[in-house]
Structure 1
Amino acid sequence: MAGERQRGVGRPNENVLSRVLIVETALDLLDLHGRDGFGMRDIARRLGVRPSALYNHVASKDDVFRGIREVIATRITVAPFVTQRWDEALITWAHSYREVFASHPPTIALLAVMPFETDSEIFGTYEQVIEVLYREGWERAEALNILVAMESFILGSALDAAAPADMMSPGDRADIPHFSAAYAERDMRTADSGAGPADQAFEAGLNLLIAGLEAQRSARAASRVAHDR
């Protein structure tokens, strides 16, 4: 009817709402407005539905956050743990993990400290990481500590990727010659390679982590051979 208010083009009616649609909308709002970027009414307004309709699919705002983490977790590639060497697989996984979180900076601080639900899909990824490390000679408890250490590094690197590239600029200070020279040299590397400061730091840190793990793995393998003689 001519006098009837029309629903916005592309907006779902309540019958086609889903948990995934609600969670994806909340993630979009987070990206736009930061960590306080959405309430349930904001999600409903964006989708053109009544707030009460959301609760047929999610229990609360905390439940939406749990859904956001699950969505993000499914975007992190895990296939390399089946197809690549252990070190190559960890490198590929780390790059994917960082890229996913760097694409959504507001989620880093929010999701990094949120307890997991026991049915979370992220445990499938963790299982593959622990399995490959255990197969390469680490005890399972050690493998878990390695996983957490790598996650801490990756999340910090994702946060660094969202920071201004010139955040550490020393300006024209003359009392810190080594730091100023290091900063200038890194700028030259950036110009030559096209890799920004955060990317350079990530690659350096990841290479050190993998090299350290390889050195430890090789030393243990040599020790086992010597012991068996």
Structure 2
Amino acid sequence: MTAAEQPRRRGRPTTPLLSQEKITRAAVELIGVRGYEALTMAALARRLGVAPSALYNHVTSKRQLLLWLQDHVNREIDCSGFGARPWDAALEAWAHSYREAYARHSLLVPVIAVTPIAGSPHTVAMYEKVAAGLRDGGWPDDQIMDVVVAVESFVLGSALDAAAPDDIFDVPGGQAPVLAEVVGARVGRDAARAAFDLGLATVLAGLRDRWRAFQG
């Protein structure tokens, strides 16, 4: 009797049909195809090919699923510079990596940006490393989260801009001649990247000035 002809053993399969990683990846795929509004537990169960009850055996609520999604995306962000490089170099590298991660998952930006981090262990660890790096770099405690949120606000907006259509500023001829000319001057370069680089350099310059004031 071949392996294919042998009777199937009763009991649970040796390899679980569902796991946190498999569920999270399916959720990311579902959002990528149909948008965040389409992410329901029922739709996710259908995508995974299981009954909703089987899904709820692994993830108890959509809230928990959001925490998994938060950790999933934030694992792509490199924060290794904090504690190893000067605070501004580490912050710059973190911002670049942060933007790249969320540019790949731009549909999740409005959701994850307002999702509390408690319950997302990797995300908590990331912020701990960033906060410790800024403190070691000489930032006062009452300024550290202002720095983090200021950079995040810019980065997440830039991640959305990276997903915007190329013709977002195009208008019918004659309506806005100056706008048409300055938009046309950007042709041939990665406009979203250029805007990000300019904005980040400006943010960092301002933060360095503020940091120097604290050191005096």
TM-score class normalised by the smaller sequence: 0.7 to 0.9
Instruction: After TM superposition, give the deviation of residue 167 of structure 1 in Å.
Output: 0.5
2:177 counterpart of 1:183: no
Percent identity of the aligned residues? 36
- Aligned residue pairs, count: 206
Q: Name the SS of the counterpart of 2:39 in structure 1.
A: coil
Query: What 5-or-longer segments of structure 2 have no aligned partner?
Result: 6-12
Alignment of 1:214-225 (within 5 A): 214-221=208-215, 223=216
In 2, Cα distance between equivalents of 1:64 and 1:94: 25
1:40-119 paired onto structure 2 within 5 Å: 40-118=41-119
Residue 193 of structure 2: aligned partner: 199
* Cα pair 2:73 2:102 within 8 Å, conserved: yes
Structure 2 residue matching 1:84: 3-state secondary structure: coil
Distance 2:176 2:65 in 1: 50
Residue in structure 2 matched with residue 24 of structure 1 by the alignment: 25
Which residue does the alignment assign to 1:6? none
Kept in 2: contact 1:108–1:159 (CA 8 A): yes
RMSD: 2.3
Distance 2:72 2:150 in 1: 23
- Cα distance in 2, alignment partners of residues 184 and 47 from structure 1: 46
- Give CA deviations for 1:88-112 in whole Å, capped at 9, x if unaligned: 2111111111111111121111111
Q: Provide closer, same or farther for how the CA distance between residues 14 and 56 of structure 1 changes in structure 2, counting only shifts above 3 A.
A: farther
TM-score, scaled to structure 2: 0.85
Distance 1:209 1:48 in 2: 47
Q: Partner of 1:213 in structure 2?
A: 207
For 1:82, what is the secondary structure of its paired residue?
A: coil
* 1:93-143 CA-partner distances (Å, limit 9, x unpaired): 111111111111211111111222255322222122222222232211211
Gaps of 5+ in 1: 3-11, 224-229
Structure 1, 16-25 or 165-174: larger mean CA deviation: 165-174
Bigger helix fraction: 1
1: CA distance between counterparts of 2:211 and 2:44? 49
| Contact 2:27–2:39, Cα closer than 8 Å, also in 1 | yes
TM-score by length of 1: 0.81
